[in-house]
Amino acid sequence: MMIGILVLGLGALFFAMVGLMASNTADGIAPFLLYLVTSLAMSFVVGAFLLRIQLRLRRALDRSHRKQRQLSASARIDSLTGLINRAAFMRALDRALDAWRNGGPPVAVLLIDLDHFKTVKDTHGHAAGDDVLIETARRLSGFQEANTTVARLGGDEFALLLEDDQGGIPRRVGRRLLDTLAAPIPIPNGFARVGATIGLAVSEDRAVTSQELLHAADVALYDGKRHSRGSLRAYEAGMDEAQRDRSMLEGDLRRAMTAGEIVPYYQPLIELHGDRLIGFEVLARWQHPVRGIIPPTSFIQMAEESGRIGEMFYTLLGRACEDARNWPTDLRLSVNISPTQFAEPLMASRILSILDKAGFPPARLELEITESTLVDEVSSAREILNTLRNAGISVALDDFGTGYSSLRHLSDLPVDRLKIDRGFVASAQRNGEDWRIIRAIVQLAGTFNLATTAEGIEAPEILSTLRDMGCDIGQGYLFGRPISAEQTSLWLQQRPALRAMAS
């Protein structure tokens, strides 16, 4: 453009010069040269000015185009992980469903939610949480192929869109995803085992929309989280009703916490070698005004996800200590504590304050923690458990054998007891391998001077074998089911032999 302007200007100047020379030959060459030099100078000045304007316009256009590209990318790409975002994923899902309706392959959506992300973020900080999300995205990107699309939908929720033209592929991919995400993720000062639960939905109805298919995967995901974290759950008819019921229950839980409907139930703990009652495990029950007694499997996870688990624990502990004041003074209480509570810096002081207020000796309290607490929150757990142990409270490692504990953890942390998972005990009669596992756990506990408790004892022959193996404490339906405080007081009165042994 600028060259054209200059050529046009010089052309005009040339013809002007020709006319000037023809008319001014008699006057000499000097006026012509002066006019020529002046005109050339003016042409170059104007040309340079116009060229500078053009360069500025070009740079402004480049910046505008670059900004538009950035805005376009930000509308599609998640800035933290580099994966496409929810809006872009939904557009890709729309295109895939359109192709399927026109004879293309069926469409599957795998919705992925990280199981313990909140615990990692609360305990180790937002930077560690970002590290987990970035590493998760990197691992999921390994599944990115021609027929797949991977996205971060928001928070710790990811999605994979798969066009399946062979059948059975989505389930195989889902299982591989679970294995990939179960591996430890490096974070500052250690590793985190986060894991994931996956909901799967496959296009079956030609009229299904992208929103409906994603909703089906979401329903399957939360059904999986409610029943078995770390699993792959495919959508089935009827799950929508279950989720609506769960949503209603979540609303009821908020009211139940303030109405005092979450109450402690008690299951006996028996010393196996002397058949002596030594205490009770405290188990939460929800006395719902309409639904009746609701077991903890139906609401504990809700409490954890909503951040109410701490409040629930402290309420149960306080009520249990008040109840136990009316029982023999040698009986102790064993209470489960959620891994998420170790993110609370004042947890130890709050527990001790509750015991002091109730006049309940710390030596009569045992706290049960899970193996994941040791693995994922080992630094914070050690400090808190040391404080509680120094006050006289004992600690049990719950469901031992199902997680990732190591011998180093057993030697490092102030643990007094290993609880053998009820799954091993329940299947021991059918599977000799489980007996070998139980025997190994009992021997391992003896090596570290730890006591053992076996859960789920329901048959006399199981009791006899555990006693012969040297297991210390037992609990299960053979000794008694969880019952209310009033029923427990009556139970103690009706069993004077057990009460005398405990006194």
* Per-domain boundaries in the chain: 2-74, 86-237, 256-502
| Whether pLDDT at 476 is above 70 | yes
> Can you give the pLDDT at residue 502?
38
Could you give the angle at the alpha carbon of 87 between the alpha carbons of 130 and 97, nearest 5°?
Answer: 125
Average pLDDT rounded to a whole number, residues 124-140: 91
Give yes or no for a contact between 256 and 310, defined as CB atoms under 8 angstroms apart: no
Out of 3.40.640.10, 3.40.50.10740, 3.20.20.450, 3.60.21.10, the CATH code matching 256-502 is 3.20.20.450
| Whether pLDDT at 205 is above 70 | yes
Q: Which residue has the tokens 């309940």?
A: 360
DSSP string, 127-173: HHHHHHHHHHHHHHHTT--TTEEEEEEETTEEEEEEE-SSSSHHHHH
Mean pLDDT of the chain: 83
> Can you give the pLDDT at residue 50?
72
Return phi, psi of residue 200, to 5°.
-120, 135
Query: How many helices (H) and strands (E) would you count in the chain?
Result: 19, 16
Give yes or no for a contact between 279 and 334, defined as CB atoms under 8 angstroms apart: yes
| Whether pLDDT at 225 is above 70 | yes
> Can you give the pLDDT at residue 376?
53
| Whether pLDDT at 56 is above 80 | no
> Can you give the pLDDT at residue 429?
72
pLDDT band per the 50, 70, 90 thresholds, residue 274: confident
> Can you give the pLDDT at residue 16?
52
Average pLDDT rounded to a whole number, residues 409-434: 80
Fold annotation for 86-237:
Alpha-Beta Plaits (3.30.70)
Strand partners, 196: 114
Minimum mean pLDDT range among 122-126, 401-405, 498-502: 498-502
Q: Which residue has the higher pLDDT, 401 or 496?
A: 401
Average pLDDT rounded to a whole number, residues 366-385: 74
Chain centroid to Cα 456, Å, comes to: 29
Percent of the chain with pLDDT over 90: 47
Q: Which residue has the tokens 């030099």?
A: 37
Return phi, psi of residue 333, to 5°.
-115, 140
Percent of the chain with pLDDT over 70: 80
> Can you give the pLDDT at residue 34?
62
Give first-to-last CA distance, the chain, whole Å.
104
Q: How far apart are CA 498 and CA 443, in angstroms?
A: 28
> Can you give the pLDDT at residue 501?
38
Torsion, CA 47, CA 53, CA 59, CA 61, rounded to 10: -110
* Sheet with strand 157-163: strands edge to edge: 148-154, 157-163, 107-114, 196-202, 232-234
Cβ-proximal residues to 3 (8 Å cutoff; 6+ apart), any chain: none
Return phi, psi of residue 52, to 5°.
-65, -40
Burial of 113 (0-12, 13-18, 19+ CB in 10 A): buried
Minimum mean pLDDT range among 147-156, 417-426, 458-467: 417-426
The one-letter amino acid at 455 = E
Q: Which residue has the tokens 């929720």?
A: 157
> Can you give the pLDDT at residue 62?
64
Q: How far apart are CA 221 and CA 219, in angstroms?
A: 5
pLDDT band per the 50, 70, 90 thresholds, residue 23: low
